[in-house]
Amino acid sequence: MASKISIYKRSQGIFLVIFALFFSLSLNLNASEPVEHSTSETHAVISEEHGEHKAHDPNAPIDISKVAFEHILDSHSWHLWGDGHDALSIPLPVILKTDKGIVTFLSSEFHHDLTGTVVVEKDGQRFVNYEDGIYYATDMPNENGSFVAIGADKALTNAAPLDFSITKNVVQLFLTAILIFLIFTSIARSYKKHGITSAPKGKQSFLEPLIVFVRDDIAKENIGARSDKYVPYLLTVFFLVLFNNFIGLIPISANLTGNIAFTLVLSVFTLIITNVGASGSYWKHIFLPKPYFLWFILMPIELVGVFSKPFALMIRLFANIAGGHIVVISLVGLIFIFKSYAIAPVSIAFTLFIDILECLVALLQAYIFTMLTALFIGSAMEDHSHDSEGAHGEHATGH
Amino acid sequence: MTNLFILAGLLEPGVGLIFWTTLTFIILIILLGKFAWKPILNAIKTREEGITKALASAESALNDMRELKSNNEKILADARNERDALIKEAREAKDAIINEAKTKAQKDADRILASAREQIINEKNAAVTELKNQVATLSIEIAEKILRSELSSDEKQKALVNNLMKDVNLN
């Protein structure tokens, strides 16, 4: 038993190292491509549109922060490698809710364009893709050849349809949801097949301790006796976040848990569940906080607290995951900033370190998100009336 | 310019992803709850209960065994005591029987002896009496015969008278 565990740990460790190496190398490749192509590509487009010729500068500084944000943001196509017309990417469906109804087409119709120069015309409406946002195209191109209008505050003034596209993040969400469903239903089947008396095997033995951990150390610990009905929700949250955190570390994958929309939805669920299951004393504590003479100050604070807790939950997960990815890309980006192979070993060493750290963060953030959700549910369900009386009694005897 | 724009994209939740996440999340909660968590949690719970029950039953079995063992020992001790008592009783009974038999035999012997002695005395007395009678008869017969022989002649009668006269001292 003990030897089996140690072998398992060792193989996990080796896996982590290989994984991290792969990650840093692949990022390396990904980041190196745009250096060679992006400038020439935009240059070609610009020269076509305007007929003017700008000198191509291979030593032009690379905007690493732009690269980093491109990597962590959502995209309408699943980009694998390459750039511009050489890029290899999986086209994904674009679904737009426009004033004239639903419009759908494949993202490949934009031809990898993110500058708003390629116009897709559907149902008499014209769309452009600008930095992975879909907008209604302007009638005439601007001086850069883009069919977008940039206002005084440097923001786009184009109107935008509601974008329900199956983006890269949405695809990964679907895939992980299916993966989680398949894994856990197969575990459920193995209980039925092998019976409950036999020792767990394979993925069952790996994931069962996590399930028991969520049930006992997260749900029961924070919610208490009535934790059973919240356990399925907490398990779903935990494994969805955990799987996406880890899959997000793979270079070509999407950064779902580092996307604020995803964490927003989970936090809103937490907010709803917390307040639906709340006890009377929870509401009393919010709307009639003691001491009463400070009511007009405390009540708004308590009310803000209701929303600030899930809000913090949303920001924490999003910022941790997105931040980790930015750090990794920035470290790899050092190679391109210094334009030297000599920096690569340093860069890779640091990236390796951060990647291993990110594996820890992936697990930790899934745990923290679930644990805090359970904590909020538990504290809202708690009956404070006994506690406060006890505190008063103590107060009285103290004097 | 672009950086600010992208940063806004980073912090602005996209309506599409919100929609799809909500939909997927709800479906996932329902499906997993029904097909995964319920059977898994039930199985784990049943197993835990089974383990607890097995431990408890093992404990009670151990207690039962302990009780059985002490019972057995008690029974064994009782049996031993009973055996001892029985043996003691038997020994006493044996002694009593032997004593009784001895006493009875003694008594019988005494009685037989006494009656024998009495009979012997009686027999002896009878024999003595008979002997006396015989002796008397014989004496008389002898005396008669002697007298006859003594008195058969005159000389003898005279001798006798002389003899008798010698004895008689007339002084």
- B56 to chain A, closest Cα gap in Å: 17
SS3 A166: coil
| Residues A314 and A226 both lie in one domain | yes
- Is A84's pLDDT higher than 70? no
User: Which of A46-60, A193-207, A320-334 has the highest average model confidence (pLDDT)?
Assistant: A320-334
| Residues A97 and A9 both lie in one domain | no
- A115 to chain B, closest Cα gap in Å: 11
| Residues A162 and A178 both lie in one domain | no
| Average pLDDT of span A350-362 | 93
pLDDT of residue A385: 54
Q: Which of A115, A147, A166 is the last residue of a domain?
A: A166
- Residue, of A48 and B127, whose pLDDT is higher: B127
pLDDT of residue A311: 94
Res. A309 pLDDT band, cuts 50 70 90: very high
Distance CA(A261)–CA(A257), nearest Å, equals 9
Mind listing the pLDDT tens digit for each residue in A87-98?
788 888 889 888
pLDDT of residue A58: 53
Res. B67 pLDDT band, cuts 50 70 90: very high
Mean pLDDT of chain B: 88
Chain B residues inside the 8 Å CB shell of A259: 13-14, 17
Other residues' Cβ atoms within 10 Å of the Cβ of residue A151: 9
Is residue A63 in a domain?
no
Q: Quote the percentage of chain B above a pLDDT of 90.
A: 43
Whether chain A has a CB inside 8 Å of the CB on B54: the answer is: no
| Average pLDDT of span B126-145 | 88
* Among the listed residues B26, B145, B156, B53, the one whose alpha carbon sits nearest the alpha carbon of residue A173: B26
- Is A272's pLDDT higher than 80? yes
In this complex, the residue of A66, A173, A181 whose CB is nearest that of residue B32 is A181
Mind listing the pLDDT tens digit for each residue in A112-168?
787 888 888 888 888 888 878 888 888 888 877 788 887 777 677 788 888 898 989
Is residue A158 in a domain?
yes
- Phi-psi category of residue A111: left, alpha or beta, with phi > 0 → left and psi -120 to 50 → alpha: left
Taken in order A233, A239, A240, A245, the sign of the CA dihedral is: positive
Distance of CA B60 to the CA centre of its chain: 37
Q: Is the Cβ pair B40, A215 closer than 8 Å?
A: no
pLDDT of residue A302: 87
Mean pLDDT of chain A: 78
Q: Which residue of A has its CA nearest to B7?
A: A69
Q: In what order do the strands lie in the sheet with A125-130?
A: A115-122, A125-130, A133-136
| Residues A216 and A329 both lie in one domain | yes
Considering only A39-43, A240-244, B123-127, B128-132, which range has the smallest mean pLDDT?
A39-43
| Enclosing domain of residue A340 | 4-25+169-383
Distance CA(A75)–CA(A218), nearest Å, equals 34
Say which DSSP state A200 is in.
P
Other residues' Cβ atoms within 10 Å of the Cβ of residue A387: 11
In this complex, the residue of A66, A169, A173 whose CB is nearest that of residue B2 is A66
Is residue A140 in a domain?
yes
| Residues A101 and A193 both lie in one domain | no
Res. B167 pLDDT band, cuts 50 70 90: confident
Distance CA(B70)–CA(B82), nearest Å, equals 18
pTM, entire model: 0.71
| Average pLDDT of span A251-270 | 91
| Average pLDDT of span A299-307 | 89
Res. B52 pLDDT band, cuts 50 70 90: very high
| Average pLDDT of span A337-365 | 90
Q: Domain count for chain A, please give it.
A: 2
Res. A37 pLDDT band, cuts 50 70 90: very low
| Residues A8 and A148 both lie in one domain | no
Chain B residues inside the 8 Å CB shell of A180: 28, 32
Q: Which residue of A has its CA nearest to B9?
A: A73
Mind listing the pLDDT tens digit for each residue in A369-388?
999 999 999 988 887 555 44
- Is B134's pLDDT higher than 70? yes
Bridge partners of A105, per DSSP, are: A94
Say which DSSP state A136 is in.
E
Res. A341 pLDDT band, cuts 50 70 90: confident
Other residues' Cβ atoms within 10 Å of the Cβ of residue A310: 24
User: Which candidate in B40, B45, B52 is best for mutational testing of the A interface (most A CBs within 10 A)?
Assistant: B40
Other residues' Cβ atoms within 10 Å of the Cβ of residue A378: 21
Considering only A288-292, B5-9, B62-66, which range has the smallest mean pLDDT?
B5-9
| Residues A145 and A115 both lie in one domain | yes
Is residue A208 in a domain?
yes
Is residue A10 in a domain?
yes
Structure tokens at A14: 């080796």
| Average pLDDT of span A99-108 | 85
Structure tokens at B149: 């022989």
Residues 89..148 of B with a Cβ closer than 8 Å to A: which?
none
Is residue A71 in a domain?
no
- Residue, of B165 and A261, whose pLDDT is higher: A261
Q: Is the Cβ pair A187, B36 closer than 8 Å?
A: yes
- Residue, of A42 and A265, whose pLDDT is higher: A265
Contacts 24+ apart (CB under 8 A), A46-50: A46/A144, A46/A145, A49/A117, A49/A141, A49/A145, A50/A145
Mind listing the pLDDT tens digit for each residue in B68-108?
999 999 999 999 999 999 999 999 999 999 999 999 999 98
| Average pLDDT of span B159-167 | 82
Is residue A52 in a domain?
no
What's the length of chain B? 171
| Residues A261 and A118 both lie in one domain | no
SS3 A302: helix
Structure tokens at A174: 């679907």
User: Which candidate in B20, B29, B35 is best for mutational testing of the A interface (most A CBs within 10 A)?
Assistant: B20
Res. B54 pLDDT band, cuts 50 70 90: very high
Distance CA(A106)–CA(A86), nearest Å, equals 18
| Residues A159 and A174 both lie in one domain | no
- Is A389's pLDDT higher than 70? no
- As a dihedral over the C-alpha atoms of residue A67, residue A260, residue A18, residue A70, rounded to 10 degrees, the angle is -10
Bridge partners of A119, per DSSP, are: A128
pLDDT of residue B3: 58
Q: Which of A150, A166, A182 is the last residue of a domain?
A: A166
Buried-state track A270-284, b at ≥16 Cβ within 10 A, e below 16: bbebbbebbeebbee
Is residue A303 in a domain?
yes
Q: Quote the percentage of chain A above a pLDDT of 70.
A: 79
Buried-state track A55-72, b at ≥16 Cβ within 10 A, e below 16: eeeeeeebebbbbbbbbb
| Residues A298 and A155 both lie in one domain | no
DSSP A32-94: HHHHHHHHHHHHHHHHHHH-------TTPPP-HHHHHHHHHS--SEEEEE--GGG-EEEE-EE
- Is B24's pLDDT higher than 80? yes
- Is A38's pLDDT higher than 50? no
Say which DSSP state A148 is in.
-
- Is A8's pLDDT higher than 80? no
Structure tokens at B87: 């043996």
Distance CA(B122)–CA(A248), nearest Å, equals 141
| Residues A157 and A223 both lie in one domain | no
| Residues A267 and A350 both lie in one domain | yes
- Is A178's pLDDT higher than 70? yes
